[in-house]
Structure 1
Amino acid sequence: MITMDNIIRDGHPTLRKTAEEVVMPPSDEDKQILTELLEFLINSQNPEVAEKYGLRPGIGLAAPQINVSKRMIAVHIVGDKGELYSYALFNPKIISHSVERAYLKSGEGCLSVDESIPGYVPRYARITVKGFDVDGKEIKLRLKGLPAVCFQHEIDHLNGIMFYDHIDKNNPLKPIEGAIEIDS
């Protein structure tokens, strides 16, 4: 079981590496890691389990955050229409995206970053992601709103990019022109 102790913090060199592709079909060890990433998110959103194990609630987690430099992410989030997006993917890629931008009104946070970093993070408003599930079956997702932001945040982790790298250093709270503001 993954706990907060397994999550590496900002400044750790693994967070700045480009993660390796997972060889398909995935090994049992890789399947186990991917499954545990999703289990962590589900547990972290359950108040009783989170309190028992001292988990910070999360909606996304990437393998590099547990010091495994491989292209694996998990997302467990409810969309704006109440639909559940619960995915664990190997080798996720954004295969298309909108020109239109979006950002979270409250800013973004990260399980690997302990302090709050204010600022708007520009993201694509809509994306299409392709990846492979735990059994190696190809999955294609069309996403918008908070799920799209979350997937982009996690895929950034696979490329050694932190959310605050996108924030305008001179004016972090300057609204992003023409972008959709998302309430999270």
Structure 2
Amino acid sequence: MIEMKDIVREGHPALRTVATEVTFPLSDEDKKLCHDLLEYIINSQDEELSIQYGLRPGIGLAAPQVNVSKRVFALHIVEEGKKPLSIVAINPKIISHSVEMTYLTSGEGCLSVDRDVEGYVPRYARITIKAFNPDGQEYTMRLKGLHAIAFQHELDHLNGVMFYDHIDQAAPFRDIPNAIPFERN
């Protein structure tokens, strides 16, 4: 089971490295990685387990965050009144996106960043993605809102990009052209 001690923090070189594609069929090690990433996210959202194991709650976790340079991440997002999203994405890609942008009004956070970073992170409002599941089956999904924002955040990790790289340092709360603010419940 992944714990907070296993998650590398900002400044670690794994967070600034472009991760390598995963080959199929998955090795036992890669299958375990997929399972462990999703398990952490699910457990971190369980108040009892979060306290018991000292887990910081999160909605996504990428392999580079546990010092594994592979193109894999997990998302587990449960929002009231919306269909839950619980996926492992292997070799994920955005195949199309909206012109319209969005951003979290509360800003983004990251399990690898132990400080508050203020500012708006511009993201595409709607994306169509393609990825593989751990069984090697390719899937395509259309995502919007928090699902789209989180997918882009995790995909950035696979490319050595941190969320705060997108924030305008001179004016962190400046209006983002053609963007609809997204308020998290």
TM-score category (smaller protein): over 0.9
Task: Find out whether 1:59 has 2:64 as its counterpart.
Answer: no
Higher mean alpha-carbon deviation, 47-56 vs 70-79, is at 70-79
Instruction: Tell me the equivalent position of 2:85.
Output: 85
| Distance of 2:172 and 2:14 partners within structure 1 | 26
Q: Which residue of 2 aligns with 1:127?
A: 127
Q: Which residue of 2 aligns with 1:152?
A: 152
* Residues in 2 aligned to 1:44 and 1:13: alpha-carbon distance in whole angstroms: 25
Task: Kindly provide the amino acid, as one letter, of the partner of residue 29 in structure 1.
Answer: E
Q: 1:78 to 1:40 in 2, by over 3 A?
A: same
Aligned residues between the structures: 184
Structure 1, unaligned stretches of length 5 or more? none
User: Deviations along 1:30-60, whole A, 9 cap, x unmatched?
Assistant: 0110111000000000000000000000000
Alpha-carbon distance between aligned partners in 1 of 2:29 and 2:37, rounded to the nearest angstrom: 13
Does residue 44 of structure 2 align to residue 44 of structure 1?
A: yes
Give, in whole Å, the separation in 1 of the partners of 2:95 and 2:51.
Answer: 38
Correspondence for 1:113: 113
**Which ranges of structure 2 fall in alignment gaps of 5 or more residues?**
none
Alpha-carbon distance in 2 for matches of 1:64, 1:54: 21
Cα distance, 1:79 vs. partner? 4.7
**Code of the aligned partner of 1:120:** Y
RMSD over aligned Cα atoms: 0.9
Once the two structures are TM-superposed, the CA of residue 145 in structure 1 deviates from its matched residue by 0.2
TM-score by length of 2: 0.97
CA contact (8 A) 1:79 1:145 kept: no
The two structures have a TM-score, normalised by structure 1, of 0.98
One-letter amino acid matched to 2:145: G
Distance change in 2, residues 1:102/1:80 (3 Å): farther
Q: Percent identity?
A: 61
Residue 81 of structure 1 deviates from its aligned partner by 4.0
8 A contact 1:80–1:145 mirrored in 2: no
- How far residue 178 of structure 1 moved from its aligned partner, in angstroms, is 2.1
2:27 pairs with 1:27: yes
